[in-house]
Structure 1
């Protein structure tokens, strides 16, 4: 991947609906060059899809939080299995340091959020959690 590929990816991240002609003009290359590079990046698996970003206020699940989770030694696989199946957990990351997992939680109300937290804290193998509600979003990828 060279600088043009990186610039192309940055432009697509900002607006994947930009016409190829506009991408070519911004990159100062031929339209065919952009089409070929996009095709190559997709074929290589660098670009795996395109998506829609919504304003956080436009989403149904308006309560968003990040929950740090500590897992007791031998229960990691079971905890992951349970958390992966939870409908309010939209992302789950393993981490290093004090916490083992970081879960992004979304709900429609604070009451629903409270129930989700209670459910998480009662899962066998979870020893501790710490949650931060997401108040504002200042940058999307």
Structure 2
């Protein structure tokens, strides 16, 4: 996956309904290039679907979890690109300390969360992870 693929994934995460023409314009490439890249990413299993994102309060029954991730060696870019393409990852943060990345996960139920965790566990370059389910918020900004 190169820089163009990563930018394409970022644009799709921001708006999965963006037209091929809009994506091509934003990327500065031909529409055929965008179509080909999307098909390649889908065939490789990096793009597993397209979704709608809702405000957190619009899904009161949704499950939110936090996953701390340790990355092997120099695999950070590959892991980050894969996580950015994972529909269950709502936000992704670079951190310091014991864990390299912090991912906020969202799922409609425990079964969906289990599927998200399974897909993340298959990402090459992740050496360890620890997931905690969000139970209650006491204060927001």
Superposition TM-score, scaled by structure 2 size: 0.58
Residue 68 of structure 1 is matched in structure 2 by 68
CA contact under 8 A between 1:61 and 1:107: conserved in structure 2? no
Residue 103 of structure 1 is matched in structure 2 by 103
Aligned ranges 1:13-32 → 2 under 5 Å: none
Residue 84 (structure 2) pairs with residue 87 (structure 1): no
| Equivalent residue pairs, number | 88
The 4+ residue runs of structure 1 with deviation greater than 4 A are: none
**1:109-130 C-alpha deviation (Å, 9 max, x unpaired):** 1011011111111110001100
Superposition CA RMSD, Å: 1.9
| Long gaps (5+) in structure 1 | 1-52
1: CA distance between counterparts of 2:134 and 2:124? Answer: 26
Superposition TM-score, scaled by structure 1 size: 0.58
Rg larger for? 1
| Long gaps (5+) in structure 2 | 1-54
2: CA distance between counterparts of 1:103 and 1:111? Answer: 18
**1:42-83 C-alpha deviation (Å, 9 max, x unpaired):** xxxxxxxxxxx754xx41661000000000011110100111
1: CA distance between counterparts of 2:115 and 2:64? Answer: 14
